[in-house]
Every structure is written in C-alpha cells, then in structure tokens.
Amino acid sequence: MKTRKKLTALILALCACVIAGCLILFTTCRFISYSSLPCAESARELRNPYTGWYQIYKYDLSDASACDLTGIQDLEHGAGLALLEFNLQGFANGPVSESALTLLDHILKSWQAAGRQLIIRFLYDWDGNALEKEPGELTVILGHMTQTAEVLNRYPDCVYIIQGLFIGSWGEMHGSRYANTSDMITLAEHLNEVTDPSIFLAVRTPEQWRLLAGSNEPLTEDSAYDGSLASRLSLFNDGMMGSSTDLNTYAEDSSVPATPYGMRNRKDELAFQNLLCAYVPNGGEAVIDNPYNDFPAAIETLANTHVSYLNEAYDPAVLEKWKAASYTGDGPYHGMNGFDYISRHLGYRYVLRSLECPGILPWKKEGKITLTLENTGFSTSFRSFDCSVILKNTQTGRTHSLPLICDTRFFLPGTQLALNTTFHTHEYSEGTYDLYLKITDPATGLPVLPANEGALTEDGFLIGSLKISRYPWGNIS
C-alpha cells in the first residue's frame, strides 16, 4: 500500500514537472504569421540610378571660359545620367591651367549636388578634325589625364564612366594620329593608373577592348570586378544599329580578323558583347533610320548586348520610329509604344515575384524571410547595391533592418534571385510589423525602386506584414 502511494506521488510529481516545463516552454514560444502584398508587376518608369536616357552638356575648358552653373539643379530631367564633354583644345600645347582645373571642379561639384550620375568625355575636337586640334605630343595628353584625374577622383560617388582616351574626332577614338596600338595601350594604362578604380573606363569598339585588355576572351564571373584594366573597360557605341557594321564598329560579314584581336563580323561581335557586357556597362547612340533599328530588331540587339544607357536626343528619326511602334508581347507592357518600352528596360529592372516566411515552429528562436526578385531589364547593375528588409512596428514606429546578403552586380538579366535573411524572434516585442524591401545605392544614397505596383516610402517599398505573438490565438490586450 505504501509503495503504491509513493508511486502515485512520484507520478504526480513527474506530471507536475512536465506541466510546469510545458508552461515555461509555452511562455518562451513565439507564434509567427505573415501576409504578403500582391506582387503585381508594374510597367511604370522608375528612373533608377545608372540607367536610362542621358543628356549631353558641353564645356569648353579654357582660361576664357565662364559657365553659369546655377540652373543645373533645376533641369527638367532631375536625377539620372548626364554626359559631360570637356574640350581641352585650348591646352593642346601644354598643361591645363589651374583656373581651368578649378572650373572643372566647380562643374562637377554642381552636378554632384544635383544628384546626377556622370559620364565624362575629354576631347580636343567637336568638328571632326582631330588631326588638326589634338596635341602634337603624346606626353601632353598623358599630362592632361593626370591633371584632370586629380579632380575627377574627388567625385567617385557621381563620376560613373570615363568615355574614350581623350583622342579622336568628337572623342570617339578614330581619326587620330594616336589611334594606333602602341599609343592607345599607353593612354589606357595611364588612365587606368591615375583614376579612381571605382570609375569605369570605356572604349569605342570590341576590337579596342580586346586590344587594350590583351585578351580575345570577354570577362567571366571570376575575372569581373577584380581591379584589372580589363575589368574596368566598358563600351560606348555611337554608331549603334546604324548599319550592318554599326558604322565600322564591326567588320563586314565576309571579313576575317586581320590581327589576333581584330575586328569581327556583326554576329560574332554581338555574341562577344553578350558575354562581356554582363559585367561592364554598354551604351551610346542609336543612329540612322534603317532595318537594324526597327523596333523588334532593336530590342533584340539592346537586350543581347545589355545596353543600359542611350542618348535621349539622337538620332531623332530612330527615336520617333520607336515611338510610333507598339509592343505586342504579353504582360503589363502590352500596347506600350516602343520608345517607352525601351526606356523601362535600359539597365536593370527588379521585379519582386514573391515574399515568403517559411513555417516557423513556435519554440524556434530564429525566423527566415525569403524574397524572390527577377531582373527583367537589359543588363545588370554594375555597382553593388545595399539590400535589406525593414521591419516597422505599426504601433511604436520603431524599425529594424535585416540585411539581405547579395552582390547585385551578378544579378544578370533574365534570372531570378532568392534573397534570404533571418531574425531572432525573441528580440522583437509582440505586435504587427510592416515589411519593406529597401534597396539603396551606397555611392549616391539614391533608392532603387522595384518594378511593382505600390509606393516607395522613406522606409522602403511596402511588401507585406509580420505578426509576432506569444499565444497561438494572437496577442492579449
């Protein structure tokens, strides 16, 4: 009898311990639920950094020049790309003067204050007469590179690309006594040495890229962004889709490369750019109304060569042709005119496809949030962006930032990217949290907006909500 009583008491004690343990465990549980907003793709224009249409602004750098810079911030285009051309012809016989360098600094500072991303081109000729206007000695050009680089390097947050090597008619690397292998290698290596490594350089043709990179092969994921000259060299094509050869950018179809790095035919050069320009920018001007820039052919070429920027003003005949065309594909762009369709796809374009917070067991202390993005643009981003999920308590307004670890430079067009982040459930008070996707360019501080229906706020782009409770039926008020 006594043994039975002891056994009963022991069982009751064990049950009490189990119940107490369960109660203690229950008090440490967190019940997580979430809801996502519809991930509806938007066809609106985004004006994200480093992409889109650029405008050209010309400056004559000389001791006699005076520029009114007061209106830069009021320009109708607002933030975005601008191509600044600086003519150094007044210094063809010697160094750039201190007053001209000071003017260059003031110009860049004004554009920086306007929040613009800058494509820079130095040249000696605006009239197609490079032979007459360029310096007579290569050392003069090298000196100009060194002098101007000291100014450019103060603005790596807004100076995005330096086009050309200071030589050629209109700065386009042709029609110059220095457009030979030896001199171009000297110029490119010097420009690479004296300029900030975060600034891209650009040459006019794929043949020039191969020559200066010293390689017949385009960049790969392993060689991209490794700090070498090749990884900085991008392309600018001011004869884009202007003929079967893009106005002598490519060889005739029947031509055989004359040198190991020589010019190839259109098909081969487009294939080369498809690989190379996955990792360096490509842009320029679409010129001369012809079948190669008819809308269907144009979007195929722009997508395959990963074009991220184009001249907004040239060629008017081509741009008007695109405006008269219509996109007939499925999706939110159906019926949009061709110019607007191209506008929305220059560069990267991120669409949020899904938000998931996989089932979190109540006793687990770590939760996971997964976002799936698709890049529907013509190119990737060529600078890495900061990505995070922001949790904002709807009652207190307190925010928490959860980093999404990724390198957007490798988020290639036509691919999807799953971004994951984790959070410790016990570090958050009970309540409802709005979820925001926040993508920011760390160089400029500018936001990157996804191509989804919805609004961008100071906290980011609203994508859903998360509820944290200690009880499965919700919080007790």
Q: Three-class SS string for the chain?
A: CHHHHHHHHHHHHHHHHHHHHHHHHHHHCCEEEEEECCCCECCCCCCCCCCEEEEEEEEECCCCCCCCCCCHHHCCCCCEEEEEEEECHHHCCCCCCHHHHHHHHHHHHHHHHCCEEEEEEEECCCCCCHHHHCCCCHHHHHHHHHHHHHHHCCCCCCEEEEECCCCCHHHCCCCCCCCCHHHHHHHHHHHHHHCCCCCEEEECCHHHHHHHHCCCCCCCCCCCCCCCHHHHEEEEEEEECCCCCCCCCCECCCCCCCCCCCCCEHHHHHHHHHHHCCCCCEEEEECCCCHHHCHHHHHHHHHHCCCCEEECCCCHHHHHHHHHCECCCCCCCCCCEHHHHHHHHCCCCEEEEEEECCCCCCCCCEEEEEEEEEECCCCCCCCCCEEEEEEEECCCCCEEEEECCCCHHHCCCCCEEEEEEEEEHHHCCCEEEEEEEEEECCCCCCECCCCECCCEECCEEEEEEEEEECCCCCCCC
Residue with the bigger pLDDT between 89 and 33: it is 89
pLDDT at 25: 43
Q: How confident is the model at residue 121 (pLDDT cuts 50, 70, 90)?
A: very high
Is residue 167 scored above 60 in pLDDT? yes
What confidence tens digit (pLDDT) does each residue in 291-317 have?
999 999 999 999 999 999 999 999 999
Please give the model's pTM, rounded to 2 decimal places. Answer: 0.90
| Torsion, CA 467, CA 469, CA 471, CA 474, rounded to 10 | -40
What confidence tens digit (pLDDT) does each residue in 370-423 have?
999 999 999 999 999 999 999 999 999 999 999 999 999 999 999 999 999 988
Q: Mean of the pLDDT values across residues 230-257?
A: 94
Q: By C-alpha distance, which of 358, 360, 356, 359 is closest to 425?
A: 360
What is the percent of the chain where pLDDT is above 90? 76
Average pLDDT across the chain, whole number: 90
Phi-psi region of 462 (alpha: psi -120 to 50; beta: other; left: phi over 0): beta
Least confident of 7-21, 349-363, 439-453: 7-21
What confidence tens digit (pLDDT) does each residue in 376-387 have?
999 999 999 999
Q: How confident is the model at residue 427 (pLDDT cuts 50, 70, 90)?
A: confident
Q: How confident is the model at residue 473 (pLDDT cuts 50, 70, 90)?
A: low
Q: How confident is the model at residue 471 (pLDDT cuts 50, 70, 90)?
A: low
Q: How confident is the model at residue 69 (pLDDT cuts 50, 70, 90)?
A: confident
- State how far the Cα of 336 lies from the Cα of 250, in Å rounded to an integer: 32
What confidence tens digit (pLDDT) does each residue in 172-215 have?
999 999 999 999 999 999 999 999 999 999 999 999 999 999 99
8 A C-beta contact, residue 236 and residue 204: yes
